[in-house]
Amino acid sequence: MSSKIPILGEKPLIGVVHLPPLPCWGRFVDLDRIIEYAINEAKKLEKAGFDAVILENYGDKPYNVDYIDDFQLAAFTVIASSIVEELNIPVGVNILRNAVKQAIAVAFSSRASFIRVNNLCELRYSVEGLLEPVPNATRILDILPRKILLLADVSVKHSYSLGEYRLENILLDCIDRLRPDVIVVTGEKTGEAPKPGYVASVKKLAKIPVVVGSGINYDNIGAFIDVADGFIVGTYLKINNITDNPIDPRKAQELVKKLRNLKRE
C-alpha cells in the first residue's frame, strides 16, 4: 500500500538539480552564472510536472565527509533561496558527502522544505572517508519552528558497510531512534537502480514511506510503482545520461507522463 508523504504528496517525482562547482577557498567562480543555471534547471523540472526538486553540490568533488567550507555554504544558501523564490513546488537540499548540520542550516535559512541525508544511522566507509551516524540531525530538526522533512538513505550508494550488517536491525533502529520521515533506497552507484524486490523488503520492514533514490528511468519506473512511495531522479534526465550535463526537458516531460499513467492504472 502506498504512503502519502507530507509536503511532497502521493508517489512524488523529485528531480535533482546537480550544481556546478561552487565557489570555495582557492576557487572563485561566477556565482551569478551558477544561480542562473540552477534556476533554469529547476524550472525545467517544474514545467515538466515534477512534484519537487532537490539541490545537490554534485560538482564539488572531491567531497569532504561532513562539511563544506564557508564560501560553499554561503553560495549554496543563496542558490537555494533563489530557487525557493522562483518555484511553486517544494525544494530540498542535499550537501555531499554527508554535511547534515549544514544542510539543515541551508534548508532553514532558504525556506526549503526537506533535506536528504546520505548516512543518518550507519557506520560506513567510502573513498571520502568514514561516514558516521548523525543523531544530532533529529535533535536540531525537532526544535525548529517549522517542519523540514528528513529523507534518509540506507546502505547509501558509493559506500560500504563496516563489519556485519543486518538491514532489518539497522533500519528498525534508525526509524525508531532517529525518526526519519522517509527512507531512501539506492543502487550501489550513481545512475544504478536497486532491485524492486529489495525496495519491497525495505518497505515491508520500514512501515514509513520509501523512495527510490537512484537509477529510475522511463523504462523501469513501472517495476517500482507498487513497491515505492516516490522517486528521486537525476542522471536519467540529463542529456546523454551524463550527470554533469543539463536536463533534457523532453525526457523530464516523458517521465512525468509515464508516471501519471502508471498511477491511473
Question: For 164-203, what is each residue's pLDDT tens digit?
Answer: 778 889 999 999 999 999 999 999 888 889 999 999 999 9
Contact 149, 181 (CB under 8 A): yes
Per-residue confidence (pLDDT) for residue 164, from 0 to 100: 72
Strand ordering across the sheet containing 124-126: 129-131, 124-126, 160-161
What percent of the chain clears pLDDT 90, i.e. is strictly above it? 89
Residue 241 region by backbone torsions, left for phi larger than 0, else alpha for psi between -120 and 50, else beta: left
Per-residue confidence (pLDDT) for residue 191, from 0 to 100: 87
Q: Which three cell numbers stand for residue 136?
A: 544530532
How far apart, in Å, do the first and last CA atoms of the chain sit?
14
Name the band, by pLDDT with cuts 50, 70 and 90, for residue 1.
low
Question: Strand 160-161 to strand 124-126: parallel, antiparallel, or no bridges (unpaired)?
Answer: antiparallel
Per-residue confidence (pLDDT) for residue 90, from 0 to 100: 98
Name the band, by pLDDT with cuts 50, 70 and 90, for residue 265.
confident
Fold annotation for 13-259: TIM Barrel (3.20.20)
Question: Strand 149-154 to strand 124-126: parallel, antiparallel, or no bridges (unpaired)?
Answer: unpaired
Contact 159, 124 (CB under 8 A): yes
Alpha-carbon span 61 to 233, nearest angstrom: 20
What is the arithmetic mean of pLDDT over 119-146? 94
Q: How far does CA 181 lie from the centroid of its chain?
A: 13
Of residues 26 and 51, more confidence is placed in 51
Name the band, by pLDDT with cuts 50, 70 and 90, for residue 106.
very high
Of 126, 118, 90, the C-alpha closest to 17 is 90
Q: What is the pTM of this model?
A: 0.96
Mean pLDDT of the residues in the chain:
95
Per-residue confidence (pLDDT) for residue 101, from 0 to 100: 97
What is the arithmetic mean of pLDDT over 42-68? 97
Exposure string for 72-106, b = 16+ CB within 10 A, e = fewer: bbebbbbbbbbbbeebebbbbbbbbbbbbebbbbb
At 148, which amino acid appears? Answer: I
Listed by start position, the domains of the chain span: 13-259
